[in-house]
Chains A and B, each alone.
Chain A
């Protein structure tokens, strides 16, 4: 591990930096941000919930861009970016769904409900699981890169729909940022401290995302050069 990081100073700094940022964000969420009056401490989940949802959407957007760039340029590196970003996106969306579920238990009095937002988020999650599944189903690298890129573009249709779901359909999911729906349960207004905490958490997660994708791409590149050495040995 230390050897791995020694080769790349910038990445090492970023890894440490995101670790420190997460510690600060934990402090801000638990201590700095005020307690919400109605929901109490459970509202504090909100910060990580929103931040992980944001990273999920960002990650899938990067997958889309990388897929388009791959189809235009045919550079393998874009395929690596698309794949890595989708993997990270799935992890963050999973966190987003789980944290939302934990929050919903006391506030909505249920772990899960088939609300439009929850449904569209689940669809989005399933789509990118299918994307990763598709990746494992293709052994020929060149063909795989083409096919998964197309699916990476198709899959993205779910992302704006998930984002817009709470705004176009009647839903019980709160819209904290922007206008609010009278039907939503668990609605609240943010104090300035809450806003600061939220923005800080989102920024932290963005840094974390950059660090993770950098690691992921590096690991994949190493895998590729390793198997190149390996197949070379076999070849002789």
Chain B
């Protein structure tokens, strides 16, 4: 379970996040949406431990991310619109590097497994500079699940993907959720993830405006609600 208490973050003088309180339960697919500058990426970076909040605490399964970063980093995998991959390494070498950083025991079989999961085994010895954007995104997903994290954080992963690759990504995310992982998705594109999500959070000007289960709501009603909030 991810728990944020009174989290505030300012860059210099402007507050990006203002006193955020949030609980995300295990196994849930949570989508955070909001207009540009609403603080959603900052929120995700704080959960992942890349940013430290000015005030407040973040705990994952009861472990404080600021004081026990080492333990919480094992629990988190991040999929971003940035691939975190080295263009001049092959797919296998990229995964090998990260597997070593995560201290994974049975490296070769684990890499083989994640490459199979994203369907890239055939291309494992090719430099990723020759990969298409969609293939890089797949490998980026393979990288994020390498250490088998129970929590996956996604930061606008659909950016720059064509229809086919987005569908692939959706399918992969679906299989991740089915295996019981917690997913937190940050996006501004609701229709891509509506079917996967359990919970919807609308972030506006650094504050949580709504936090409610999607249940049976249709895309149209959600978009209407969202527009009402953001134009307020």
A residues with a Cβ closer than 8 A to B are 139-142, 224, 227-228, 231, 235
Contact = CB atoms under 8 A, between A and B. Distances in A.
A235 B15 CA distance: 9
B231 interface: no
A142 B205 contact: no
Contact of B11 (A141, A224, A227, A235): A141
The DSSP consensus for interface residues of chain A is: helix
B62 interface: no
B13 A142 contact: no
18 contacts: A139-B12, A140-B11, A140-B12, A141-B11, A141-B12, A141-B13, A142-B10, A142-B11, A142-B12, A142-B54, A224-B13, A227-B13, A228-B13, A231-B13, A231-B14, A235-B14, A235-B15, A235-B205
Contacts of A142: 10-12, 54
Interface residues of B, number: 8
Nearest to A225: B13
A141 B13 CA distance: 8
Contacts of B14: 231, 235
A235 B12 CA distance: 15
Contacts of A224: 13
Interface of B: 10-15, 54, 205
- In order of increasing CB-CB distance, the 8 nearest A-B pairs are A141-B12, A227-B13, A231-B13, A140-B11, A231-B14, A228-B13, A140-B12, A142-B11
A207 B54 CA distance: 36
A74 to B, nearest CB: 9
Nearest to A140: B11
Nearest to B12: A141
Contacts of B54: 142
A227 B15 CA distance: 12
Contacts of A227: 13
A228 B15 CA distance: 10
A140 B54 CA distance: 13
A181 to B, nearest CB: 50
A141 B15 CA distance: 12
A231 B205 CA distance: 13
Given A139-B12, A224-B13, A235-B15, 9 more contacts: A141-B12, A141-B13, A142-B11, A142-B12, A142-B54, A227-B13, A228-B13, A231-B14, A235-B14
Nearest to A141: B12
A62 B203 CA distance: 43
A197 B12 CA distance: 46
Contacts of B15: 235
Name the residue among B10, B12, B14, B205 with the largest chain A CB count within 10 angstroms: B12
Contacts of B11: 140-142
A140 B14 CA distance: 10
Name the residue among B10, B13, B205 with the largest chain A CB count within 10 angstroms: B13
Contacts of B13: 141, 224, 227-228, 231
A141 to B, nearest CB: 4
